[in-house]
Amino acid sequence: MSDSYSPEDVALLINFFQKAALAKRAFAAGAALVFYDYILTLPTEIAEIWNSKFSGAKVLFFLARYPFVISTVLEFALFFHPNPTDQVCQGLYYSWLALRVFILIGTGSIFALRTYAIFQKKLWILMVLGLLVLANIGVILYTDAFQSYPVAGTFGLNASCAFSDTGLYPKLQIVSRSLVLAFDTLVFCLTSVRTIRHTRDMKRAGLGLGLGYVMLRDGTLYFLFAFVISVADLIFYNLPDYGGSAGLVEGIGSAVTVVLINRLVLNLRQVSHRRETGQTLKTIEDEPEFATNSVLGNLGAPLRTGHEEDDAEEMSINEADDYETSRW
C-alpha cells in the first residue's frame, strides 16, 4: 500500500491547514481584544458594578463578562494544546460548552431587557426576544453536545483538538445563526423605531438634539454593530468555500459582541451613578426616564457621552419641562 497522496488529497490538506491557521489567528485576535478591554474596563467595573446595589442587571453583566473570559482561556487550550488526548479535548470542550450557555443567557438577556425597558415594559417584546434566545440556546446545546465530537488532532501539524461532525451539524449551524440574526434584527429595528420617535418628539418640543445624540442615548449603535456581525456571520457561513472568511467573523465577532455589551452596561451604570450623586446637568435630569425596576437595574437608563452633554447644556430647564409634559 502506497503512502503517497493524490494531488486532490494534497489540495484538501493544504486547504484544511489554511482554514485551521486562519481560524486560530482570528481567535487569537478576538482573545487579545477581550483581555485588552478587560484590563481597560476593570477599574470602571470595580467602581461602578462591584460597589453598586444588587440588581438583575448586575447578575447578567457578570454572566456575560466572566464566563466569556474563562471560556476564552479554555478555547485557547483547545486551539493550541500541543499534545492533547481525546479525554483532555473532551474535558476542555464540554467545560467550554457549559460556559457558553451562561454567556448566551447573559448577553441575550441584556439586549432583550434593554429593548424591553426603552419600550416601557411591553410584555410582547420580552416574550418574543426571550423565545428567540431560548430557541438558540436549545439548538446550540443539541448541535454542539450531540452533533459534534471533540478528538485529539490526527495530523502532526495540527496536534491540537479537532472535531468530528455529523451530517446534520452544518444545517443546525445555519438554524442557530438564523435565530441570532432574527434576534439582532428585531432588537435593532425596535430600537431604531424608538430612536426615530424620540428624535421627532424632541424636535417638536424644541430640544435641538440630533439623531446622533438619541442613537447614543438609546444604545442603537451597539445594536447596529451586533446586527452587522450577525449578517456577516450568516453570509460567510453559507459561502461555497466556508471556513476561512467565516472563521474570521466567528472568531472576532463573538469577542466584539461581548465587548460591546460590557461597554453598554458600564456606560449605563456610570450615567446612573452620576445622576445619583448629582453630577449630571439639570437639563438632562429633566428628560424622561426609561422603565426600570429591581430586575432591570440600570438597563433602562439613557446613555450619555461627554460632548453631547455639552451640547445639551444649551437647553433651558423650561424647555425640558415643556418636553416632559408633552411627552407624557
- The predicted structure's pLDDT at residue 309: 39
Whether the predicted pLDDT of 259 surpasses 50: yes
Whether the predicted pLDDT of 178 surpasses 90: yes
The mean pLDDT value for 38-54 works out to 88
Q: CA 89, CA 78: separation in Å to the nearest integer?
A: 7
Domain count, the chain: 1
**Coil/strand/helix, residue 126:** helix
- The predicted structure's pLDDT at residue 282: 39
Q: Is the dihedral of CA 93, 95, 101, 103 positive or negative?
A: negative
Whether 256 is in a domain gets the answer: yes
Confidence of residue 156 (pLDDT cuts 50, 70, 90): very low
Residue 269 has which C-alpha cell? 451604570
Q: What is the pTM of this model?
A: 0.77
- Which range is least confidently modeled, 173-177, 187-191, 218-222? 218-222
Which has more pLDDT, 16 or 176? 176
- The predicted structure's pLDDT at residue 4: 66
Confidence of residue 278 (pLDDT cuts 50, 70, 90): low
For residue 215, what are the domain limits? 21-327
Which has more pLDDT, 34 or 276? 34
Confidence of residue 318 (pLDDT cuts 50, 70, 90): very low
Helices 220-237 and 211-218 cross at an angle (nearest 10°) of 80
Whether 132 is in a domain gets the answer: yes
Please report, for the domain that includes residue 177, its CATH number: 1.20.1070
Q: CA 224, CA 9: separation in Å to the nearest integer?
A: 42
**Coil/strand/helix, residue 162:** strand
Q: CA 283, CA 309: separation in Å to the nearest integer?
A: 9
Residue 3 has which C-alpha cell? 503512502
Which has more pLDDT, 325 or 127? 127
Report which listed range, 54-58, 246-250, 269-273, is most confident: 54-58
- Which range is least confidently modeled, 39-53, 123-137, 170-184, 313-327? 313-327
- The predicted structure's pLDDT at residue 158: 52
Which has more pLDDT, 96 or 302? 96
Of 99, 91, 113, nearest in space to 219 by CA: 113
Identity of the amino acid at 241: D
Is the CB of residue 197 less than 8 Å from the CB of residue 214?
Answer: no
- The predicted structure's pLDDT at residue 195: 79
Q: What percentage of the chain reaches a pLDDT higher than 90?
A: 26
Whether the predicted pLDDT of 157 surpasses 70: no
Whether 6 is in a domain gets the answer: no
Q: Which runs of E-coded beta strand occur in the chain?
A: 148-152, 161-165
Which has more pLDDT, 217 or 171? 171
The mean pLDDT value for 76-99 works out to 89
Whether the predicted pLDDT of 289 surpasses 50: no
Which has more pLDDT, 17 or 32? 32
Whether 206 is in a domain gets the answer: yes
Whether 11 is in a domain gets the answer: no
Whether the predicted pLDDT of 320 surpasses 80: no
Which has more pLDDT, 77 or 118? 77
Region of 293 (left: φ > 0; alpha: ψ -120 to 50; beta: rest) is beta
Residue 42: φ, ψ to 5°: -60, -45
Whether 30 is in a domain gets the answer: yes
Whether 16 is in a domain gets the answer: no
59-64 LR contacts (CB < 8 Å, sep 24+): 60/105, 60/106, 60/109, 60/110, 60/113, 60/265, 61/106, 61/110, 61/262, 61/265, 62/106, 63/102, 63/103, 63/105, 63/106, 63/109, 64/103, 64/106, 64/107, 64/110, 64/258, 64/261, 64/262, 64/265
Q: CA 316, CA 207: separation in Å to the nearest integer?
A: 9
pLDDT tens sequence across 300-313 = 555 443 444 334 33
What's the whole-number average pLDDT of the chain?
Answer: 76
Is the CB of residue 104 less than 8 Å from the CB of residue 136?
Answer: yes
Whether 268 is in a domain gets the answer: yes
Q: CA 271, CA 17: separation in Å to the nearest integer?
A: 48
Q: CA 99, CA 270: separation in Å to the nearest integer?
A: 28
